[in-house]
Homo-oligomer: A and B are copies of this chain.
Amino acid sequence: MIGNGRTNDPQGVRRRIVDTAYDAFVKQGYIATGMLEIREKASVSGGAMAHHFPAKRALGLAVIRDRVSHAVRQTWIEPLDRCVDAPAAIDLIFGDIIGELAPKGSVSGCPLNNMAMDVSPHDPEMRLALDDIFAAWQEALSAKFQADLASGRASNIQPSSLATLVIAIYSGAMAMAKARQDVGALVESRAELAALLALKYRRVTSAG
């Protein structure tokens, strides 16, 4: 109505909406989250919401492409480049995630997996967008295993299927942790995964 100090900030409003939606989608699920709830939490009017995201699907797509994709890249792909080999990176990632989960008290699960589980059956376009993220994740891990094989750090491994296995272990352990509200599954899976990778790797950390 009356023009109190309103300032147009399309990028900021859009960012607030996507951030709020990302949180809600990951914690409660895409279907269980209403547009009204997002509008209220993000302090955005219906008009602004409709302007930026005419439909819920568009918001879901934006969350997947702008946030879920980034989350996977940041927590799983980038650490691969900063570690000497795949096992070191994987153990570091598991450790970080367990460390972040422990004090929080509740386990909300893997963003990518959470989105994929309740969106995949209903929206082919969103499913494909999530599929791309899975593919990038698998490819990055696979490339790291391949590099370890080429550099002689690892032997007798099949990079592609081993990468799939690692993703499955992480996704499954996170799903269990969410269902049981206990990080135990992540802790146990981390140890087992480290042990089985150690059999294929000759570590240089200690003399041997």
Instruction: For the complex formed, measure the closest distance between the CB of A75 and the CB atoms of chain B, giving whole angstroms.
Output: 16
Determine whether the beta carbon of B108 is less than 8 Å from that of A121.
Answer: yes
Minimum Cβ distance to chain B for residue A50 (Å): 23
In the complex, what distance in Å separates the CA atom of A161 from the CA atom of B122? 35
A194 to chain B, nearest CB (A): 11
* 8 A Cβ contacts from A146-169 to B: 158, 160-162, 164-165, 167-169
> A171 touching B161 by the CB < 8 A rule?
no
Copies in the complex: 2
The reply to whether A118 and B32 contact each other, CB–CB distance below 8 Å, is: yes
A20 an interface residue at 8 Å Cβ cutoff? no
Measured between beta carbons, the chain B residues less than 8 angstroms from A118 are 29, 31-32, 117-118
Question: Which B residues are CB-close (under 8 A) to A109?
Answer: 117
The answer to whether A180 touches B134 (Cβ under 8 A) is: yes
A113 with B175, Cβ < 8 A, contacts A165-B169, A165-B189, A188-B165 known = yes
The interface residues of chain B lying within 8 Å CB-to-CB of A199 are 196, 199
Which residues from chain B contact A158 at a C-beta distance below 8 Å? 192
B172–A130 CB distance below 8 A? no
| Interface check A43, CB cutoff 8 A | no
Residues of B within 8 A of A179 (CB): 113, 116-117, 120, 127, 130-131, 134
A180 cross-chain contacts in B, Cβ below 8 A:
131, 134-135
Q: How far is the CA of A193 from the CA of B184 in the complex (A)?
A: 21
Q: Say if the beta carbon of A178 comes within 8 Å of chain B.
A: yes
Asked if A143 is at the interface (CB within 8 A of a chain B CB), the reply is: no
Question: Across the interface, do A176 and B168 meet the contact criterion of CB distance under 8 Å?
Answer: yes
Closest 6 interchain pairs by CB? Answer: A172-B172, A168-B172, A171-B172, A116-B179, A161-B188, A168-B173
Interface CB pairs A-B, < 8 A, 18: A27-B121, A29-B117, A29-B118, A31-B32, A31-B118, A113-B117, A116-B175, A116-B179, A117-B117, A131-B179, A131-B181, A161-B191, A161-B192, A167-B176, A167-B185, A168-B172, A169-B169, A172-B172
